[in-house]
Amino acid sequence: MSYLAHIKRETRFLFKQRYVLAILSIVFSLSVFAVWSGILESQAQSKTIERLIEKDAQERAHILTKKSDYGSAGYYSFHLTYSEPSSAAFAAIGQRDIHPWKHRIRLLALEGQIYETDAANPELSFVGRFDFAFLASVLLPLFVILLLHDMRAAERSSGRYDLLISTAGTWKHLWLARALVLTSALMLALILPLLAGALWSQTPIKLTASMALVVIGHLVFWSLMVLWYTASSFAQKQTSAQIASVLLSAWLAVTVLVPVASDMAINHMIDSPNGGDIVLTQREAVNDAWDLPAKETWDVFLTDYPQWRELATKPPEKGFNWKWYYAFQHVGDLKTHELSQGFRDAKIAKDTLAGRFALLSPPMFTQRLIASIAQTDTQAAVAYEQSVRDYHQTMRHFYYPRLFGEAEFDQQEMAKLPEFSHL
């Protein structure tokens, strides 16, 4: 019998089994739901950003009409920053549920603003979303186990085992053909909705292909693992339910125990400054400045911006002026710099370590790969935060010459303020 004939026969056989068909159609509908809700969420985020951009520009224009100096223009006008969901984001909400992807900032000290978040509903984030990445990483192994665990045992218990082997020529062909058909059917049920979603979202082929490859890789891993175990000598003495129990325990170990233990280890290995300390430090720095002699602020500020030495120290000794105000805002950021950098470094270090620990857990590894292709991982969140910091600096550099040069306020000039851009 040729190999192709095996496959044909197994395919026919497969479609006669109600149980197999039920599982496949469940996987297919779950995949459709995951992709559909992911697209919905992505679109909602894009639309939100679109609306925000428009309203943000309107509000700023409106506020600026009422301002007559750069100092208060900077104080009262907010600027939107955002991170657009990528065209592949529908497949993984990833860290976008936890890290902010939209933020409004103004010219004041950044450390006092950047930790404000417009967060998602915490109760929904806590339960977790159902997205394609979840289906492909956490649930997929369960379906593989359900489909493949009793290929042999079921035949054995129904007494067909020996008959099958004697009629199917070499027995290896039989199991492999059957496993191949089941695995491919599962793959199609899983991936077809993904491909449709990618087509709809105009995801670049390269991203779609790599995502599909990750899913197939994960699927092949579990299929081989199940096949290997069912063929092993332990499994020969077990009932199909016992085989499945062993496989489920393996799933439990890599999906629950390894990540949880890794998380504990990572938290132990990486020390992070306390967030509360950052904001308390920056508040002290900014507030103390009001009572300190202006010179102390200037000394620190001018080490960073020596080019404003001439223009900065000219203002009167007494009373309020915007130059000094923005100088101590910046000094507030400088004083917090180390803590804040430590906070970010810890976040990155934890993510890097998590990447290594994920090698011990195929489901976590899969999830991370998909989120990274979809650009919804921690790295993307860190990059977005950096782009907000960069933009804040661009903004300051736009205002400084105008503030320190005591330029006459000009609405036309404000149109030159660089716009936020990310990626």
Partner 1 sequence: MTPIKLIMADEWRFWKRTRLAVSVIFMGIALTLVAAIVNTVEMQHATHEREHLQHTSESRFLEQPDRHPHRMVHYGHYVFRTPAPLSIIEPGVDDYSGSSIFLEGHKQNTPMFAEQGQASGMTHFSNLTPSFLLQVIVPLFIILVGYASITREKEAGTLNIMLTQGVSLWSLMLGKLFALAGSGLLMLVPLVIAVIWAASNGEALLTSLSFVFGYLVYILIWSGIVIAASAMHKRSSASFTTLVGLWIVLCILTPRIASTGASAIAPTPGKLETDFIVTKELEKLGNGHNVSDPAFDQLKQELFSKYNVDKIEDLPFNFRGTAVQIFEEKLTTVLNEFAEQRMAEELNQALIARQFGWLSPTTAMRSLSMVIAGSSIETHHRFLREAETLRYDFVQSLNKIQTDDMTYEDDMKGYDDPASRVESSNWELLSTFSFKPDSASTRVARSLPYAAQLLFWLLLVGLSMRLALRRVS
Segment 139 to 198, residues that bind partner 1, using CB under 8 A: 139, 142, 146, 150, 153-154, 157
Alpha-carbon distance of 118 to 109, in angstroms, equals: 19
The minimum distance between CB 64 and partner 1, in angstroms, equals 13
* Contact call for residue 281 and partner 1 (CB under 8 A): no
* Contact call for residue 359 and partner 1 (CB under 8 A): no
* Contact call for residue 280 and partner 1 (CB under 8 A): yes
* Contact call for residue 287 and partner 1 (CB under 8 A): yes
The minimum distance between CB 360 and partner 1, in angstroms, equals 11
Residue 98: how many CB atoms within 10 A of its CB? 14
Nearer to partner 1, 163 or 280 (CB): 280
Among 123, 202, 271, 310, binds partner 1 (CB under 8 A): 123
Please give the sequence-ordered ranges of beta strands (E in DSSP) within 55-180, or none if there are none.
79-82, 102-105
* Contact call for residue 122 and partner 1 (CB under 8 A): yes
Nearer to partner 1, 123 or 310 (CB): 123
- Read off the amino acid at residue 340: S
The minimum distance between CB 257 and partner 1, in angstroms, equals 8
Binding segment for partner 1 (CB under 8 A), chosen from 6-14, 178-186, 197-205, 234-242, is: 234-242
* Partners of residue 104 on adjacent β-strands: 80
- Characterize 285-294 residue by residue with b for buried, 16 or more Cβ atoms within 10 angstroms of its Cβ, and e for exposed: bbeebeeeeb
* Contact call for residue 346 and partner 1 (CB under 8 A): yes
Among 9, 14, 59, 75, binds partner 1 (CB under 8 A): 59
Angle between helices 322-357 and 294-304 (to 10 degrees): 50
The minimum distance between CB 42 and partner 1, in angstroms, equals 12
The minimum distance between CB 72 and partner 1, in angstroms, equals 11
Q: How far apart are the first and last CA of the chain?
A: 56
CB 416 within 8 A of CB 395: no
The minimum distance between CB 366 and partner 1, in angstroms, equals 12
What is the total count of residues that contact partner 1 (CB under 8 A)?
Answer: 94
Phi-psi region of 120 (alpha: psi -120 to 50; beta: other; left: phi over 0): beta
Alpha-carbon distance of 5 to 422, in angstroms, equals: 54
Contact pattern for partner 1 over residues 239 through 268, marking x by CB under 8 A: xxxx-xx--x---x--xx--xx-xxx-xx-
Nearer to partner 1, 223 or 255 (CB): 255
* Contact call for residue 318 and partner 1 (CB under 8 A): yes
Contact pattern for partner 1 over residues 79 through 108, marking x by CB under 8 A: -x--------------x--xx--xxx----
Among 173, 283, 337, 422, binds partner 1 (CB under 8 A): 283
Nearer to partner 1, 23 or 198 (CB): 23
- Report CA torsion sign: 274, 278, 283, 289: positive
Nearer to partner 1, 21 or 124 (CB): 124
Eight-state DSSP code of residue 15: T
* Contact call for residue 321 and partner 1 (CB under 8 A): no
Nearer to partner 1, 10 or 377 (CB): 377
Give Cα separations from 258 to 20, 182, 263, 302 (angstroms). Answer: 30, 28, 8, 51
Among 50, 118, 299, 410, binds partner 1 (CB under 8 A): 118
Among 216, 354, 383, 417, binds partner 1 (CB under 8 A): 354
Alpha-carbon distance of 56 to 81, in angstroms, equals: 10
Which residue bears the tokens 């000290």? 109
Please give the sequence-ordered ranges of beta strands (E in DSSP) within 22-179, or none if there are none.
79-82, 102-105
Phi-psi region of 94 (alpha: psi -120 to 50; beta: other; left: phi over 0): left
- Rg over alpha carbons for the chain, rounded to the nearest Å, is 29
